[in-house]
Structure 1
Amino acid sequence: MDLHALREDMVAFSKEIGIDKIGVASPDVFTELKERLRAQQELGYQSGFEKGSLDERTTPNMHVPEAKSIISIAIAYPSKMKDAPRSKRGERRGLFCRASWGQDYHDVLNDKLNRLAEFLEEKYPGFRWRSMVDTGELSDRAVAERAGIGFTGKNTNLITKEFGSYVYLGEIITNIPFAPDDPVDDSCGDCNICVDACPTGALVQGNQLHAGKCIAFLTQTKGFLPDEYRDKIGNRIYGCDTCQTVCPKNKKKDFHLHPELEPDPELVKPELKPLLSISNREFKEKYGKMAGSWRGKKPIQRNAIIALAHYKDDTAVEELIRVMKEDPRPVIRGTAAWALGKIGVPSSYDVILHAKEKETDEEVLLEMDKGLAFFTNATV
């Protein structure tokens, strides 16, 4: 079989179905990545969302034993929103990061990878394959880097020449022996803007991320947010884009190539107060098609409460009192009590004090004490 011709046909078909970049990587073990991942584990820098063992995350033929190549794809997404609603008193808004704009990118990329695989299946007898997008064992970024799609910047994002780092990545491990592409050179140079701009210091140095400090990770956790990060997340209710928006490689990078990835301004920059009373069904119907909904409504609601405290939105006090008194989830009750203290409306002091008399959860009681402390500290 003429593999060169097959590859040309594959590239042409990829453009037809809306794949913006495509490259090929060898299926060799990602030896250097394995050592970096081992170091991340030893330092305690992992998020806990990682899938698979070190071997599974770095050995492609564990997933396709006949693997001869890995096809890497990239899809560009927008960096700017048209007609974004303004946040104003009484109608304060939160923000989903750009990776959650439009339809869930997992679904979008998996559809394109499946169509690409079907195309190859018709062309190559005995085709074997497995695709991955984000939640698979392999590192999409490491595969894309090896396939020449782009280079890994100091912000740990893959940066492409055409689209900056505003790309989604996925891959197909296959038994087709395509020749690999050449990697591109790292071109961050002496630039350290992203490391310096990270709100929590999660970029401990160029190319090394402490995931546990990263706002993108923290907004997805379900427990109480550690105190030291509450003032850092601002109005972010899912994800963080700071290390991308400050990157010089992303200057003037804004592509609107895929209608399914266009943001609905009211969804990606939603009013905060209505989120506190949204039902599970309403949340699923409204936000279920977004990538940022994957952890359910609880983290979003907790982050919305923290955002209201960030704004010191006194119009939210009545709703926060209701949440503190009535919500069955300790994390939400406790965060609401903390937020009431942070906002600082004087009448909230007695309300928290009375609610504390009926509260039995130790963690909620601790948050109530934190809320009360805002008032006592203010009078010292």
Structure 2
Amino acid sequence: MNTAQLKQEIIEYSKKIGIDKIGFTTADPFIEMKNRLIRQQELQYQSGFEEKDIEKRVNPALLLDEPRSIIAIALAYPSKMTNRTISKKGERRGIFCRASWGIDYHHILRDRLHLLEEFIKEKVPHAKCKSMVDTGELVDRAVAERAGIGWSGKNCSIITPEFGSYVYLGEMITTIPFEPDTPMEDRCGTCNKCVDACPTGALVQGGQLDSNRCIAFLTQTKGFLPDEFREKLGNRIYGCDSCQTACPVNKGMDFHFHEEMEPDPEIVKPLLRSLLQISNREFKEKFGPLSGSWRGKKPIQRNAIIALTHFKDETAVDELIQVMNSDSRPVIRGTAAWALGKIGGEAANLALEKAQQVEKDEEVLNEIDKGLSFFCKDEVGQ
């Protein structure tokens, strides 16, 4: 088997099926990444969404028998909407991060990897392959970095010269011994703009992320959002792009290569009030195709309530009162109570006082007390 020729044929085929960048590396363990993951674990910086077994995250031999190489792929996604919607008074909107625009990228990359695997099996029937995207065991970033897709930026994303960090990553472990590509040198230099731009200080330093403080992670949690992060949320309802938009390499980067990645503005920038009492069925029909829907509607609704306080949207008060009084979920009732206090007004104050008399859940009562305390502060300030 002429692996050099096969590699070139794979590269050419990858372009035909919509893979924007491809790289090859060995199947050796990722020793440096292992040390970093151990350190992250010691510092308790993990999100909890990761594969628990660090060895599986760094050792391809635990995932496929006799692996010889890994193929890394990248697909560029849009950073701008072609048709924008405007958030205005009475019609305030939230925002999904760019990586959640269009069809769930897991499906898109799995499709490309499946086609690539079929092509390889056609050429080398006895070859074994194992593909994964994001939720797989290996650390996508480590694979992409070593395969020459891009360098690992201080924002903890792979940054490519061609597409910036607006790329989805996937990889395929194979039993074919391809010649590895050369890793790319770090080009961040002394630039620290992403670290400085992080709203919560989650980027502890260049290349080190405390996931528990990262808004992208926090928007996916299901409990009460800690107080210190609520006003940092802005109008984000899923994910965060601050460290990407601050990156100078990303300036002007906007690619519309894949139709299935194109965002529907009404979906990725939805009216916040429309989310307050959306049914499960409506949520699945409207937001189900997005990767940002994977945790269900509860985190999105909670974030939408917090986003309404960002705008001090008085037009939402009546609906927030209804949510506080009738929603079955303590997190949603409590967050609505807190929001009513932040937005303010006589109706909100009266509703909170009434709710305080009938609410039984201790956590919700705590949020009602917070809401009422904002009125006390306003009276002191007058």
1:273 aligned partner: 273
1:14 aligned partner: 14
User: 2:225 matched to 1:214?
Assistant: no
User: 2:340 matched to 1:340?
Assistant: yes
2:251 aligned partner: 251
Q: Distance in 1 between the 2:125 and 2:351 partners? A: 71
Q: Distance in 2 between the 1:261 and 1:351 partners? A: 43
Code of the aligned partner of 1:164? G
1:161 aligned partner: 161
Code of the aligned partner of 1:134? D
Q: Distance in 2 between the 1:254 and 1:310 partners? A: 28
Q: Distance in 2 between the 1:350 and 1:321 partners? A: 10
The answer on whether the counterparts of 1:52 and 1:137 sit within 8 Å (CA) in structure 2 is: no
Residue 346 of structure 1: how far off its partner (Å): 2.1
Code of the aligned partner of 1:303? N
Q: Distance in 1 between the 2:345 and 2:364 partners? A: 20
Residue 138 of structure 1: how far off its partner (Å): 0.5
Q: Name the stretch that deviates more: 310-319 or 353-362.
A: 353-362
Q: Report 1:143-162 matches (<5 A).
A: 143-162=143-162
1:2 aligned partner: 2
Cα distance per residue 1:25-64 (max 9 Å; x no partner)? 1111110100100000100111000013110111011000
2:24 aligned partner: 24
* TM-score, with length taken from structure 1: 0.99
1:94 aligned partner: 94
Cα distance per residue 1:62-88 (max 9 Å; x no partner)? 000210000000000001112211101
Number of matched residues? 380
Q: Distance in 1 between the 2:54 and 2:43 partners? A: 15
The answer on whether the counterparts of 1:306 and 1:339 sit within 8 Å (CA) in structure 2 is: yes
The answer on whether the counterparts of 1:96 and 1:292 sit within 8 Å (CA) in structure 2 is: yes
Identity %: 65
Residue 125 of structure 1: how far off its partner (Å): 2.7
Structure 2: which 5+ runs fail to align? none
Q: Distance in 2 between the 1:26 and 1:370 partners? A: 55
Cα distance per residue 1:278-333 (max 9 Å; x no partner)? 10011001110001000000000000000001111000000000000000000000
Q: Report 1:28-107 matches (<5 A).
A: 28-107=28-107
The answer on whether the counterparts of 1:334 and 1:367 sit within 8 Å (CA) in structure 2 is: yes
* TM-score, with length taken from structure 2: 0.99
SS at match of 1:187: coil
Q: Name the stretch that deviates more: 122-131 or 264-273.
A: 122-131
Q: Name the stretch that deviates more: 120-129 or 105-114.
A: 120-129
Structure 1: which 5+ runs fail to align? none
2:285 aligned partner: 285
Code of the aligned partner of 1:207? G
SS at match of 1:48: coil
1:306 aligned partner: 306
CA RMSD of aligned residues (A): 0.6
Code of the aligned partner of 1:58? V
Structure 1 residue ranges (4+ consecutive) displaced by more than 4 angstroms after TM superposition:
none
Q: Distance in 1 between the 2:319 and 2:297 partners? A: 17
1:263 aligned partner: 263
The answer on whether the counterparts of 1:66 and 1:128 sit within 8 Å (CA) in structure 2 is: no
SS at match of 1:347: helix
SS at match of 2:138: coil
Code of the aligned partner of 1:203? L
